[in-house]
Each structure stands twice: as C-alpha cells, then as structure tokens.
Copies of this chain bind each other. A is one copy, B any other.
Amino acid sequence: MKRILIVLTLGLFIANNSFSQNGEDSDYLMISEKMTDLALSEGKAYEMLRTLCLDVGPRLSGSSEAAAAVEWGRQTMINSELDNVFLQDVYVPHWVRGSIETATLLNSSSLGTIELTVCALGRSVGTPEPGVTGDVVEVNGFDELRALGDKVKGKIVFYNRPMDSRKRNTFEAYSGAVDQRSSGAIEAAKFGAVAVLVRSMTTRLDDVPHTGAMRDYAEGITKIPAAAISTVDANLLSSALKTDGVVSVNLRLSCKTLPDVLSANVIGEIIGTELPDEVILVGGHLDSWDKGHGAHDDGSGCVQSIEALRLIKAMGLKPKRTIRAVLYMNEENGMRGGQVYADSVKQSGPKHVAAIESDRGGLAPRGLTIKAELESPELQSIAKWSYLFEGIDADKFIPGYGGVDISTLEPLGTLLMGLSVDPNRYFDYHHSDNDTFDKVNERELELGAVVMAMMSYVLAMEGI
C-alpha cells in the first residue's frame, strides 16, 4: 500500500520532503518548475534540431556533412551564449558506403530472382565488382554457427535471431541481439564464410535496413562483407530457405575505408562561480549514420546538451561548478571523440565530477540511469533529487548504464548518468532511414533538456 499512497499524495510528499542539504530544496523545486515552464513555452532544442537535421543532415564521421555539423555545433553554442566555445581535434575513421549495395536472391524455386533490401554495415569491406555469391546458411547465433563450423565455408551466413520484443525495455532486447551485427562477420570469417547478412536490429517488421557498427577483427582474419537486411526481407529469405532447401544470394557492396580525417568534438561551458575547475558534463554525439537525419540518434542528445546550458543561462542561474556541454564526434564507428576527450582530461583536468549523456532518443524522459550500485552512496546522492522531476513524470532514478562516450571518464572517477526515456519507439528509427526530424516530438525533446539542465545545475551547486 505504501507506494500507492505515496503516489496519490504526491503534493504532500513534495511539500514535506526532507532531503535538504542546505535548506534550498524548495528553491530547487521552484527553479525546476519555472525551467519546465520556460522549456515548454520558449525552449529552443526543437528548432536547433530542425537545423541540424534539415540543413546539415546525416553526418557520418569523416564526411563533409560531419564537418558542417561541427561548424553548426560551434555556431549554435555561440548563438546560445555559452562561454568558452571551442573545438577539440579528433582524427576519425572515414568509412564510406559508396553507391552500390544490393543483395539478389538468385533463382529461388519459390520466389524466383528478387532483390532484397540491404545496406552495408558500418566498417564493412566491400565486395569485388561482380559481388560475392554463395548459398545462404541461416543461424540464430554463434552457438549454431560454431556447431556448423567448416560447413559454412564458401557460404553466406545469415544471422536471423530477432530482438526479443517481449522485453519491456527495448535496449535490453537490443543488447540481446546486437552481437550478431557487431561480431557476426568476424565469427563467420573464422570458418571461411564469404559474407554475412544480419537481420536488422529493430522489433518492428519494416522494409528498411538498420545499419550499425562492427567490432575490430583480430589480426590474421580475412575481412568479409557484411550487410543488414530489413526485417521484412529477413523473414522472406528465411521462408525461402525453408521452402526451397537451398537458396543463394549475390551480394554487392561498394563501401570502403579511406584514410582518417581531422574532425572535432565541440565544447561549450558555463564557468562555475566558486569551483570553476570542477565540471559537470552533459553530452551527446554529433556524428550519426548516413541514414535518415540522425534525429533521435543523436541529434537529440546534442541539442538537449546545448539547450540545457542555454536554459540555465536564460534563467539567470549562476552554478558554483562549471557545466560543460560536449558534442562528441565519432560515437558510431570508432568512439574516437570519447577517447580524445578523456585523454585530455586525464592529462590536464579539470576534474569531472559527473557526466550525463543523452543517447537514447529525444523521447519522453522518464528519469536517469546511474552507473552505481543500488545501495551505494553515489546512487543515493543522485536519486535524492528525483522529486524535482515528478511533475514531468521523469523521476525514475535507477541503477544502469551511463553512456558510450562518457564511459571513458569512469576511470577518472566521474559519476556517470544516462538520460532515460520511454523505450518503446527508439528502435523503430535507430540507424535507418526512419530516423528523421518529423519523428521527434517537440515537447518530449524539450522536457529531456530540462532533466539534463536541472540535474546538472543541482550537481553544480551541491556536488555529489
């Protein structure tokens, strides 16, 4: 009964809360409410995202669009009146998709010769010009692959284990399936497969392939081409295999890796009034895949990070510690930006007290995940502020993952947090042509910025 009563007597609970370290809690609640008013009436994240998506577009590391995105980030931070806007050099991989990516099902007795909807996985090698042709062997994962062993030699391995749609949190479903994409080619190559097709990482049945990165090959393994296949065509291919017994596919990919390119992380700050050398970081990643607009992944996290600082300034707040927005470059296929950033902090500081990453889409915020144990003082020190977000239904503060880019700060003692959002829609869009600006709801995006702004502000005032 306790939880029900507490939910039902919310107002009373807020009035009576006794978390105060310094008697300022009612001020924080008032600030949170006013900031939410401001964000819902005059927030700028959505307009920032419009320009990033529609003027800059998708921005794969090393591309000219990524260079334009760096300039967009710098200028947007300046326009938002952040202090100390600067770029941090990052050399990034330069993988390009090229113009050719086809998978042709050949002479299927049930379907004839038809085109399947595929796209190269990021970092894949291309095929020779005529493509690679082989019989298709379907597996649901590495155990089945290893059981087949040398029988996949000369074949195209087709990983077709779906994300488990029963998972309440789709990120868990993703984690349970993504090894096929990240390591599928590497494992299949060990047994002499000539290529891999990987079922797209989405719980939907849709007709677009969802790309994504692969891990590094170990030395000595010959790289093989790898492509994502739409879930609709994955089902089609699987049914053809069942019907026909043997099917073969010709896969053509013109993707390739060019020399590294100089790019940048984009950084802006509000300098702390009392402890300027202690930093609370908010961030997202500026690069995206070359599909859709990179709207949810992770244009949203970028604009929320900038908007968090803009909101704090627009409210006339003066945080004691420095709050820094970092737009990381190259999260998708290299994580170079996160490495460079942490290396620079390690070498010359400043001390990073806490970091909040937004990289789960610009969807309705639900709270924060905190990289700390359930009973730990670190978790409690963050979770005690959750009441500030009850009014926008974003007060679930639970142990969990921080984020890919900020993970490099963990060895330096930084407490990591991730903006947690409603998980139902994200993988409808993720890494595909579906990830466009029109899929973002203005209110949801702006409310996420409030969580980042208010949480970073409180931590800048109170520490952890």
Contacts and interface: CB of A to CB of B under 8 A. Distances in A.
A18 B1 contact: yes
A8 B442 contact: no
B384 A4 contact: yes
Contact of A203 (B386, B398, B428, B443): B443
B6 A392 contact: no
Contacts of A442: 204
Copies in the complex: 2
B447 A424 contact: yes
B6 A391 contact: no
Nearest to A374: B8
Given A40-B165, A170-B443, A366-B393, 9 more contacts: A1-B18, A1-B19, A2-B6, A2-B13, A3-B3, A3-B387, A4-B383, A4-B386, A165-B443
A434 to B, nearest CB: 10
Given A165-B40, A424-B444, A425-B441, A3 B13 contact: yes
Place the interface of chain A in its size category: 35 or more
18 contacts: A2-B13, A3-B386, A3-B387, A3-B395, A4-B383, A4-B386, A4-B397, A7-B383, A40-B166, A40-B168, A168-B391, A204-B442, A364-B422, A366-B393, A393-B396, A422-B422, A424-B441, A425-B441
Nearest to A393: B366
A171 to B, nearest CB: 13
Interface of A: 1-4, 6-9, 13, 18-19, 36-37, 40-41, 165-168, 170, 203-204, 364, 366, 374, 379-380, 383-384, 386-387, 391-393, 395-399, 422, 424-425, 428, 441-444, 447
Given A441-B424, A444-B425, A7 B393 contact: no
B165 A398 contact: no
A366 B366 CA distance: 11
A29 to B, nearest CB: 14
Nearest to A382: B4
A447 B4 CA distance: 21
Given A364-B422, A422-B364, A2 B2 contact: yes
A40 to B, nearest CB: 5
A422 B393 CA distance: 9
A168 B392 contact: yes
Contacts of A364: 364, 422, 424
